[in-house]
Amino acid sequence: MHEFDLIRQIDSFAADHDDVKVGIGDDAAVTSSNAYKDMISCVDTICEGIHFKRSTLHLSDIGYKALAVNLSDIAAMGGTPRYYLVSLGIPAEWDQEEILEIYRGMNDLAKRYGVILIGGDTVSAQNGLMISVTVLGEIETNRSLLRNSARVGDIVFASGTLGASRGGLDLLLSQGLTAHRTEEEKALVIVHQRPDPQVTLGELLKESGFRIALNDISDGLSSEIWELAEASNVCICLEEEKIPISADAIKLFGKQSAYEYALNGGEDFQLVGTVAKTHWPTIQSTAKEKGIRLSAIGSVEHEGDSQVFMQKNGERTRIKRTGYRHG
């Protein structure tokens, strides 16, 4: 059983309602709040031994990352995060001070974006710590940036660089948490332990007023670009030489491994999207003014056939959807 297959089955239980503008199938749900604002809601759960290990993350990093995952979903909708709730399943071997250190990590990130903790729940668990975070955000009415907005002729873009998080994870798994590291190694490790959700960029893209399809890169570029293609029912072609691969990952692991990390490694928490070709120069330059790197990595070719291809040296191959999958 795979996560995406299960979600498709669960979607059959979701009832239509006038207040629900976006339900299951995007980065977050969007519901009517008032005449001027929509509410954005998302929830992510991470489990010890599956999504995190104490051998690769400090306790505060676990909390920081649990919240970052959700803020990234809000960013992918163009929204502003406002509040969060935390539910924990706590095994007997975890003590109170360890749990509080996890909350300190969440608070480090929450303060940065002005997100307020408003509640949650704690229960006992038998095997491994479980953390479930719900974030509530807001956006102007009908301004959410959705995966189904890609159109023929659009430029496909990605923010930042990709592959660093998986490179950092490989270093942590091979070297341990407290190893002495080079500057390049430290840079990769920090991306994995404390990813930077692209909230500012999401808001910037929303403020442009342009039609933009958007997704966050949590499971790897290959998986996320497929989600855009399927939601918009379009064919997308990427250009391999334009993928913004982490220079540190290339230096430490080689170009081919770094490329695989970018495509399939996951947890970079950058944004990938599409925008009309005429609007691309504007959003790229506006992002640059804010210190944010945006790279054109491909184009939307035609509609009616959800496919994703990679072009290299004039030849193209179909991209397999092989990013990180849960289950």
Q: Are residues 209 and 85 in the same domain?
A: no
Residue 269, beta-bridge partner list: none
Q: Does residue 155 sit within a domain?
A: yes
Q: Does residue 327 sit within a domain?
A: no
Q: Are residues 117 and 235 in the same domain?
A: no
Per-residue pLDDT tens over the stretch 246-280: 999 999 999 999 999 999 999 999 999 999 999 99
The pLDDT, as a whole number, for residue 217 is 97
The angle at the Cα of 151, spanning 157 to 9, to the nearest 5 degrees, equals 90
The pLDDT, as a whole number, for residue 321 is 78
Q: Are residues 92 and 69 in the same domain?
A: yes
Smallest CA-to-CA distance from 87 within 116, 122, 63 is with 122
Q: Does residue 10 sit within a domain?
A: yes
Question: CA 13 to CA 89: how far, in whole Å?
Answer: 26
Q: Are residues 82 and 191 in the same domain?
A: no
Per-residue pLDDT tens over the stretch 179-212: 999 999 999 999 999 999 999 999 999 999 999 9
Q: Does residue 125 sit within a domain?
A: yes
User: Residues within the annotated binding site for substrate?
Assistant: 51, 267, 324
- How many structural domains are present in the chain? 2
- Name residue, tokens 């210190």: 291
* Final residue of a structural domain among 101, 121, 140: 140
Q: Are residues 46 and 8 in the same domain?
A: yes
The pLDDT, as a whole number, for residue 159 is 98
Q: Are residues 216 and 295 in the same domain?
A: yes
CATH of the domain at 192: 3.90.650.10
CATH of the domain at 81: 3.30.1330.10
Q: Does residue 213 sit within a domain?
A: yes
> What are the mean pLDDT values of the chain's consecutive 10-residue runs (327 residues total)?
59 63 70 86 94 95 97 97 98 96 98 97 94 97 94 98 98 96 98 98 98 96 96 97 98 98 96 98 98 98 93 93 54
Is residue 40 classed as helix, strand or coil in its secondary structure? strand
User: Residues within the annotated binding site for ATP?
Assistant: 103, 120-121, 147, 218
The pLDDT, as a whole number, for residue 199 is 98
The pLDDT, as a whole number, for residue 17 is 62
Q: Does residue 325 sit within a domain?
A: no
Question: CA 274 to CA 16: how far, in whole Å?
Answer: 28
* Final residue of a structural domain among 95, 115, 140: 140
* Final residue of a structural domain among 140, 172, 187: 140
Q: Are residues 33 and 124 in the same domain?
A: yes
Q: Are residues 97 and 163 in the same domain?
A: no
Q: How many helices (H) and strands (E) does the chain have?
A: 10, 13
Q: Are residues 306 and 208 in the same domain?
A: yes
Q: Does residue 50 sit within a domain?
A: yes
Q: Are residues 170 and 292 in the same domain?
A: yes
Q: Are residues 48 and 118 in the same domain?
A: yes
Say what the pTM is. Answer: 0.91
User: Residues within the annotated binding site?
Assistant: 27, 44, 51, 73, 103, 120-121, 147, 216, 218-219, 267, 324
Asked if residues 207 and 140 have their Cβ atoms less than 8 Å apart, the reply is: no
Q: Does residue 223 sit within a domain?
A: yes
Question: CA 53 to CA 267: how far, in whole Å?
Answer: 15
Is residue 162 classed as helix, strand or coil in its secondary structure? strand
User: Residues within the annotated binding site for Mg(2+)?
Assistant: 27, 44, 73, 121, 216, 219
Expressed as residue numbers, the domain containing 302 is 147-318
Q: Are residues 171 and 101 in the same domain?
A: no
- Name residue, tokens 């719900």: 134
